[in-house]
Amino acid sequence: MKLLKIDHLGIAVNSIDEAKSLWKNLGLELEGTETVKEQKVTTGFFTVGESEVELLEPVDSDGPVAKFLEKKGEGIHHVAFRVENIVEAIEELKQNGIRLIDEKPRTGAGGAKIAFLHPKSTNGVLIELCER
Ligand code: CMX
């Protein structure tokens, strides 16, 4: 497997509505929001060159982003890398002993196939693999 590019940076925020004005001042327009029920989050995307910034606002107090905000406050939540074939990538990482959160891809925002690696096996950074 090979990481192809940074697909997006996920940033946890309390409110996309409040956070979007910063990104407007940085020259970016919010392209729309989408609630991903399974992840208990609403996402808002901004395109930056060939990558994106994804704001993450919790919709439920027991979801992963709500827990992150409670523990660490607003900030970078995950880095997502594009891969060509996520099923093959997961299999290869498993064989190499990398701890995975998802052993099968899930559907994320925009219909992407996504899978997370556990931050305990990735130098403390939550990594998402993403196939579009
Ligand atoms: N980045 C880095 N470390 C993180 C983290 C993050 N985003 N979230 C949690 N951690 C760390 C915690 O600090 C904690 O470390 P310590 O034990 O040293 O304190 C450890 O991971 C366990 O954290 P926790 O608060 O007890 O939380 P959980 O174990 O319940 O869950 C995690 C952590 C990463 C397994 C969970 O958040 C998860 O499954 N994440 C994947 C799904 C997700 O994040 N979805 C939201 C985005 C969806 C999208 O982009 O569409």
What is the per-residue pLDDT across 72-112, written as a single tens digit (0 to 9) for each? Answer: 999 999 999 999 999 999 999 999 999 999 999 999 999 99
Integer angstrom CA distances of residue 70 from 58, 61, 63, 65, 119: 11, 9, 11, 9, 17
Question: What is the pTM assigned to this prediction?
Answer: 0.97
Mutate to test the pocket of ligand 1, among 34, 41, 67 (most ligand atoms within 8 A of CB): 67
Report whether residue 41 contacts ligand 1, using a CB cutoff of 6 Å. yes
Alpha-carbon span 126 to 121, nearest angstrom:
9
pLDDT tens for each residue of 42-68 = 999 999 999 999 999 999 999 999 999
